[in-house]
């Protein structure tokens, strides 16, 4: 049979190696049958597997297990290597390295946090031993919302799929389903949105005109998210387009600018190509040329809302979501999706040089028209509360 138990000991009489005898359950000298090994036991199985044991019984039990796995066709040398290549923590570390340069900073932080918690739970356990029940118990024990558990579940799902593609003969475990409901989000009518943006301009323009411009763009160019906007470099605002090389959908985007915004850009001093467009001027508390932080636009939005007595409307809901709601009276859902927000599109960014530039500009122009001053004053207390509740299930 394949494999055997060995010992470092020799016969103290003739110095011969001691031979494994499964009937007598030990290692003995052929010439002197009463001489038996007492220590230094190890198992060799094939050319690649060698493992040491303190007792003969442990070594024999291990050998029987490996032979049984071989008969079943489940033997895998990776399960017995010292560096534990299938260890959960080892693989999680490698996966995070692949994500470090392919996902955004905040996304990477979340992935690292989720896998850190999983490593605390499973350590370097062989990944093939992590089953449905282990994952379900882990997720249920987390003191977080169902939405966060859903995100953790998605992270683990991507990780196990990566391992399945990377490692031969590995089948990822089935993952538990996580249900959650999105909460309420407050949005505002276009007149109220225009009033807030006008207030932002009044209080921030002398400080830095790009604060107002950034919030204005979020309310018009609904294809762009706040994080993507702040990442724009000078070279990515070119020839009448905003170039988004790192969007959430992973496909580069080119967003056409309205003529009025192109005129605004001409009045603003530009910097070197590699510099962030949304950057600080020389003011107290900020180094000139440093990029806007994630909360920069949000803080000024809240200041303007506070000045106008408007409560409970965040920047994302008050710009992008409110504008999409406003556009529903002019366009169909598919028109807004395909030419406005850009969700679920599969064509390359080059299309914006072709036929689809005009529909996008038309939608953006309609979004901008709502920001223009009207004779009738806006109803500041008219805050629309829209139920965005929807159940997601995977």
* Structure confidence by residue, pLDDT tens digits, 3-40: 888 998 999 889 999 989 888 889 999 999 889 998 98
Question: Are 171 and 137 part of one and the same domain?
Answer: yes
Residue 263 domain-assigned (yes or no): yes
Residue 80 domain-assigned (yes or no): no
**Angle 54-57-62 (CA atoms, 0-180°, nearest 5)?**
90
Question: Are 105 and 236 part of one and the same domain?
Answer: no
Residue 108 to residue 95: CA distance in whole angstroms? 11
Question: Are 50 and 121 part of one and the same domain?
Answer: no
At which of 75, 102, 129 does a domain end? Answer: 75
Residue 47 domain-assigned (yes or no): yes
Long-range CB pairs of 234-239 (<8 Å, 24+ gap) are 234/270, 234/271, 234/272, 234/273, 234/274, 234/275, 234/276, 234/277, 235/273, 235/274, 236/277, 237/265, 237/277
Residue that has been written with the tokens 């629309």 in this structure: 384
* Structure confidence by residue, pLDDT tens digits, 113-126: 999 999 999 998 88
Residue 122 domain-assigned (yes or no): yes
Domain region containing 143: 88-181
pTM of the model: 0.55
Count structural domains, the chain: 3
Q: Which residues pair with 386 in a beta bridge?
A: 185
pLDDT of residue 50: 81
Question: Are 37 and 127 part of one and the same domain?
Answer: no
Question: Are 55 and 138 part of one and the same domain?
Answer: no
* Structure confidence by residue, pLDDT tens digits, 375-388: 434 433 444 333 33
Mean pLDDT, consecutive 10-residue segments, the chain of 394 residues?
Answer: 85 90 89 90 84 88 84 73 81 92 85 94 90 94 92 95 88 90 76 94 92 93 85 88 70 83 89 90 75 89 94 88 84 69 42 45 75 49 38 32
Question: Are 225 and 371 part of one and the same domain?
Answer: yes
Question: Are 96 and 190 part of one and the same domain?
Answer: no
At which of 75, 97, 132 does a domain end? Answer: 75
């Amino acid at each position: 049979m394949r494999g055997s138990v060995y010992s470092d000991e020799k016969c103290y009489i003739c110095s011969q190696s001691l031979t494994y005898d499964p009937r007598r359950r030990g290692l003995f000298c052929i010439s002197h049958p009463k001489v038996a090994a007492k220590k230094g036991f190890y198992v060799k199985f094939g050319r690649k597997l060698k493992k040491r044991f303190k007792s003969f019984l442990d070594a024999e039990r291990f050998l029987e297990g490996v032979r049984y796995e071989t008969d079943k066709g489940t033997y895998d040398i990776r399960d017995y290597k010292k560096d534990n290549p299938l260890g959960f923590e080892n693989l999680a570390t490698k996966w995070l390295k692949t994500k470090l340069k392919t996902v955004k900073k905040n996304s990477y932080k979340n992935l690292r946090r989720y896998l850190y918690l999983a490593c605390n739970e499973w350590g370097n356990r062989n990944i093939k031993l992590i089953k449905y029940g282990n994952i379900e118990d882990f997720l249920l024990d987390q003191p977080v919302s169902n939405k966060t558990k859903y995100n953790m579940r998605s992270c683990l799902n991507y990780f196990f799929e990566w391992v399945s593609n990377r490692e031969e003969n590995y089948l990822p475990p089935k993952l538990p389903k996580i249900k959650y409901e999105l909460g309420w989000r407050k949005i505002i009518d276009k007149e109220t949105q225009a009033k807030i943006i006008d207030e932002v301009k009044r209080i921030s323009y002398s400080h830095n005109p790009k604060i107002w411009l950034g919030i204005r763009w979020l309310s018009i160019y609904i294809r762009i998210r706040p994080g993507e906007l702040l990442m724009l470099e000078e070279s990515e605002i070119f020839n009448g387009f905003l170039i988004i090389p790192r969007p959430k959908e992973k496909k580069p985007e080119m967003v056409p600018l309205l003529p009025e915004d192109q005129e605004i850009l001409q009045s603003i001093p530009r910097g070197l190509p590699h510099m962030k467009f949304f950057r600080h001027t020389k003011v107290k508390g900020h180094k000139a040329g440093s990029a806007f932080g994630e909360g920069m636009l949000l803080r000024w939005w809240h200041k303007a809302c506070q000045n106008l007595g408007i409560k409970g409307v965040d920047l994302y809901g008050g710009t992008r979501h409110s504008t999409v709601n406003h556009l529903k009276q002019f366009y169909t859902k598919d028109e807004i999706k395909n030419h406005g927000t850009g969700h679920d599109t599969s064509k390359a960014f080059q299309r914006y040089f072709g036929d689809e530039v005009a529909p996008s500009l038309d939608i953006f122009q309609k979004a901008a028209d709502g920001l223009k001053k009207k004779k009738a004053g806006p109803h500041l207390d008219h805050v629309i509360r829209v139920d965005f509740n929807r159940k997601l299930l995977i």
